[in-house]
Structure 1
Amino acid sequence: MANILIIDDDLMFSRMMADLMIRMEHKTYSASTLKGGMEKMGEAEMDLVLLDVRLPDGSGLDILPRIRSVRSSPEVIILTGFGDQNGAELAIKNGAWDYLEKTSSISMLTLPVMRALQYREARRLIRIPKVLKRDGIIGSSPQIESCIDSVAGAAAGDGSVLIVGDSGTGKELFARAIHENSIRSGKNFVVVDCGALPSTLVESILFGHEKGTFTGADRAREGLIKQAHGGTLFLDEVGELPPGIQKTFLRVLQEHRFRPIGSTHEVESDFRLVAATNRNLEQMGREGLFREDLLFRLRSSTLLLPPLKNRTEDITDLTMYHLRRLSERYGLPFKGVSPEFLEILQHYEWPGNVRELFHATEAAFAKAGDEPTLFPMHLPPDLRVKVRLAISATKKRPPGPVPAHSVLPSLHEARKGAVTKAEKEYIIELLSRAGGDVESASQIAGVSRAQIYRLMQKHEIRRSVFRLACE
């Protein structure tokens, strides 16, 4: 029996679906708003959410990532009275199991429910704990855990993988993780930066050449594809691959054979292909800028990396990880961070993603000099200005009418929320100053070690990110 949540303001349809799910021997929960749905998910672990799109307090599509990121990570089926191709694409790319119209027959509504629950149960049964090599992949958010699951699945096979994500999200890190956890881990991981390939030398770089083939070819040279023999070939920013090379590379991908420039003989290369892009290759294919047949071969499986703004709960771990690396690199004591420093990082949009976060952290580290703690003043001025302007604009925005569904929390709830926030900030600052040492932290705070551990567990704070670089 599964727990199924129905979020729909059409009470008649909601009751019909609830009756249907009960007949299928599942336990049902119902909510008519997004807010109510999130509250229900806080009360019980859901296996499946049947989600309407148009709700009184917003669009179900907007809240889909939040639903997928709760602890139980339920499957989601979108049910809407208004068919929309763009909505279907957005829903599925954000992890929805299916996108169905309410006018569908009963069988068309029940079959996806059965399949989604079968899939969920199968994953639960076969999920064997495995320690993956994930060097440099930092974070424990549901989005990152989902990506790690995908890495494990990709590493278990040998098909091509396409990694899609904005610049700075760590596409090469995930490509390396796939390689390091695969049967090819003992062989070469060869990186090809497609955006930096000189148009006049691209074939020579990829396929190699014989001596004397062109001016300057004073000796034979092995190409990158041959160097990847037995290992993994990583095409970074594959969308930048010159159109003339795409056709040639398609054959190489199919046959794993090619002819170096100037050679009369073909050579073989048994490589596994992993490619990455920050561009919409499907759109490029429709515009004739990227071969669709090559795209089909690239994406035997696809890994979608979330932007940093969609996994802000990882920002503290990422910051502490990079500060520890900086301390080790320069042989300096580990620096703590103030709650206000982390608050600024949490409010920034990070268009450059993790790469930009690391640059900002390094700039703050350098500016702080010998100071033991980082404060907002150490961050780049333009970053701080953007955050303050955004906060100011939010505060100055004229209040609109209060929605009927909006409920002001009780004084007790408001006070509890404020105390929880202050408590978490205090523990982060405390462990930062204590370098992750619980004994020292308990002495500073004047409480027992057990109490420190309880608070760390309550706020999901990991000690490892605060440990001193010398440990």
Structure 2
Amino acid sequence: MSRILIVEDEQVIRSALRRLLEKHNYDVSDAGAVDEAVAQFSLTDFDLIISDLRLPGAPGTDLIKLAGHVPVLIMTSYGSMRSAVDAMKLGAKDYIAKPFNHDEMLETIAALLATASEEPVETPAADSSSVEPSHNLPFIGQCEPMQALFGRIAKVARTDATVLILGESGTGKELAARAIHDQSPRAQAPMISVNCAAIPETLIESELFGHEKGSFTGANSARSGLIEAADGGTLFLDEIGELPLEAQARLLRFLQESEIRKVGSVQSKKVNVRLIAATHRNLKELARAGEFREDLYYRLYVMELKMPPLRNRGEDIIELAEKFLADACERMACPTLSLSPESRAMMLAYNWPGNVRELENAIERAVILADTNSITPDLLGLDIDAKLTLDQLESRFVEHEPQQEQVVNAGAQRQPQQGLSLDDYFQRFVLEHQDQMSETELAKKLGVSRKCLWERRQKLGIPRKPKG
């Protein structure tokens, strides 16, 4: 019989929850505050602790550290959803909103107890503060951001927490999701990957939740959805920011109730699926603009992983390039090739807007075109000048034109301009070069789109050159 401790300061709720759990054959103890629970009981003797978030004295989250390996389920009101997310970051295994449904509470408890029984208890000798990345991670990376990412993946993989992976296109978000799944207790079950941006809006609900025969035109037979296909395993939703609002509402219900209902069906089905979502967009800004459900955003924002862009990974660029080069040579059955010193320098200077995916494609292109055993810069097809960031342009400008002067106004004394801000530099560069360059050439030189150039002109009040 599982032992459960309830920590709740409201007597009515505490008594009702105790009766519910005892009715379902749990051995239940209760307390009205954290201090009272610590004084009366040995917390590690319990199989599960259920605690209110807001308690007199210490908050319920203090029990997370005090309980050691014992899972803690946090109860909170709907108005405190942000606090519940913070509780999950502190190590709570799950949270449930009050007032809760009895069936939902019992199912959540059963799931937590089942998960806890499968997880090995860490011995005191284990140093949980330094997590070594698994040797079979599908990543290369010695830089500090990647090492921090490996540690977070190892920690989150042991839990069933929902994960939101953020990062630019091509940074390897799906690889991170795969690493989490492969190191989790669900590793033997399937991981189903879905690109939300690649499915037509009219079909997204049918693809995710399935449909019954005749539920819409073309539904000639019943079909299970991708969520059901991931039952027992992991569902990876890439580009979740592209999910239509109606589908977001159904996804939120799935996350809250762990059940799905096919399109055209009146029956719901329970599923056991861990969700990992990814996006390159700012979901918080989308939520403010009404393009993404705020309640779904907070449901997803339990554990966040940020994928560093390739330009911030230093020497990892060369290590990745050499791996891609070896793989491409083996795949194409060609002699071993090497990167020339000039190619290495170019790759370290390049901004890599397409990130790791662009690097891999550049290496494959170079292998196809190579006539010698060395990869030279021209084979990579990288246009350094067209991809310079504003910061790089500014440093180059200062380096090569230190005495550049600007006329403050007609007839005024010409003075060297020092300490330019990025906006100052942008304005100066555009005004000095727009007579010789078209808008397209200016945008290309600055490494931005024409739309971005126009928007910055509007922001800074930079006039267009008169058409003559």
Task: Name the residue aligned to 1:309.
Answer: 311
Give the AA of the match of 1:377.
D
Task: Name the residue aligned to 2:401.
Answer: 397
| CA shift in 2, pair 1:331/1:290, >3 Å | same
Task: Name the residue aligned to 2:271.
Answer: 269
Give the AA of the match of 1:378.
L
Task: Name the residue aligned to 1:204.
Answer: 206
Give the AA of the match of 1:198.
P
| CA shift in 2, pair 1:284/1:385, >3 Å | closer
Find the aligned partners of 2:315 and 2:126 in 1 and give their Cα distance: 25
SS in 2 for 1:275: strand
Contact 1:232-1:274 at 8 Å conserved across structures: yes
Out of 308, 322, 326, the residue aligned to residue 324 of structure 1 is 326
Give the AA of the match of 1:137.
F
**TM-aligned CA deviation for residue 213 of structure 1:** 2.5
Runs of 4+ in 1 over 3 A off after TM superposition: 122-125, 127-131, 133-136, 383-395, 399-403
Contact 2:166-2:307 at 8 Å conserved across structures: yes
1:173 matched to 2:164? The reply is: no
Give the AA of the match of 2:215.
T
Give the TM-score, by structure 1 length.
0.56
Task: Name the residue aligned to 1:382.
Answer: 383
Q: How many residues align?
A: 281
| Structure number having the greater helix percentage | 1
**TM-aligned CA deviation for residue 381 of structure 1:** 5.3
Give the AA of the match of 2:162.
S
| CA shift in 2, pair 1:134/1:286, >3 Å | farther
1:251 matched to 2:272? The reply is: no
**TM-aligned CA deviation for residue 383 of structure 1:** 4.1
What is the correspondence of 1:216-227 to structure 2 with a 5 Å cutoff? 216-227=218-229
Deviates more, 1:228-237 or 1:360-369: 360-369
Task: Name the residue aligned to 1:239.
Answer: 241
1:412-461: per-residue Cα shift (whole Å, max 9, x none)?
A: xxxxxxxxxxxxxxxxxxxxxxxxxxxxxxxxxxxxxxxxxxxxxxxxxx
Out of 340, 355, 358, the residue aligned to residue 357 of structure 2 is 355
**TM-aligned CA deviation for residue 378 of structure 1:** 1.4
Find the aligned partners of 1:289 and 1:132 in 2 and give their Cα distance: 38
| CA shift in 2, pair 1:155/1:200, >3 Å | same
Contact 1:344-1:387 at 8 Å conserved across structures: no
Task: Name the residue aligned to 1:57.
Answer: none
| CA shift in 2, pair 1:367/1:212, >3 Å | same
Contact 1:207-1:258 at 8 Å conserved across structures: yes
1:194-232: per-residue Cα shift (whole Å, max 9, x none)?
A: 112211111110111122323322222110110110111
**TM-aligned CA deviation for residue 376 of structure 1:** 1.3
Contact 1:257-1:269 at 8 Å conserved across structures: yes
What is the correspondence of 1:23-422 to structure 2 with a 5 Å cutoff? 125-127=127-129, 130=132, 132=134, 134-369=136-371, 371-380=372-381, 382-383=383-384, 386=387, 393=397, 395-398=399-402
Find the aligned partners of 1:140 and 1:123 in 2 and give their Cα distance: 26
Contact 1:367-1:378 at 8 Å conserved across structures: yes
1:318-342: per-residue Cα shift (whole Å, max 9, x none)?
A: 1011111111211222211111110
SS in 2 for 1:377: helix
Find the aligned partners of 1:126 and 1:368 in 2 and give their Cα distance: 48
**TM-aligned CA deviation for residue 125 of structure 1:** 3.9
Give the TM-score, by structure 2 length.
0.56
1:79-106: per-residue Cα shift (whole Å, max 9, x none)?
A: xxxxxxxxxxxxxxxxxxxxxxxxxxxx
Find the aligned partners of 1:128 and 1:398 in 2 and give their Cα distance: 47
Contact 2:131-2:154 at 8 Å conserved across structures: no
Contact 1:246-1:294 at 8 Å conserved across structures: yes
Give the AA of the match of 1:285.
A
Deviates more, 1:288-297 or 1:390-399: 390-399
CA RMSD of aligned residues (A): 2.7
CA radius of gyration, larger in: 2
Task: Name the residue aligned to 1:413.
Answer: none
SS in 2 for 1:144: helix
SS in 2 for 1:126: coil
SS in 2 for 1:192: strand
Contact 1:344-1:384 at 8 Å conserved across structures: no
Give the AA of the match of 1:379.
L
SS in 1 for 2:315: helix
Give the AA of the match of 1:335.
L
**TM-aligned CA deviation for residue 157 of structure 1:** 0.9
Find the aligned partners of 2:306 and 2:354 in 1 and give their Cα distance: 17
1:46-68: per-residue Cα shift (whole Å, max 9, x none)?
A: xxxxxxxxxxxxxxxxxxxxxxx
Contact 1:334-1:372 at 8 Å conserved across structures: yes
Contact 1:133-1:177 at 8 Å conserved across structures: no
SS in 2 for 1:320: helix
**TM-aligned CA deviation for residue 386 of structure 1:** 4.9
Give the AA of the match of 1:206.
L
Task: Name the residue aligned to 2:59.
Answer: none
| CA shift in 2, pair 1:384/1:323, >3 Å | farther
**TM-aligned CA deviation for residue 186 of structure 1:** 0.7
- Aligned-pair identity (%): 43
**Structure 1: gaps of 5 or more residues:** 1-121, 404-471
Contact 1:376-1:384 at 8 Å conserved across structures: no
Contact 1:190-1:224 at 8 Å conserved across structures: yes
SS in 2 for 1:312: coil
Find the aligned partners of 1:253 and 1:224 in 2 and give their Cα distance: 15
Contact 2:133-2:154 at 8 Å conserved across structures: no
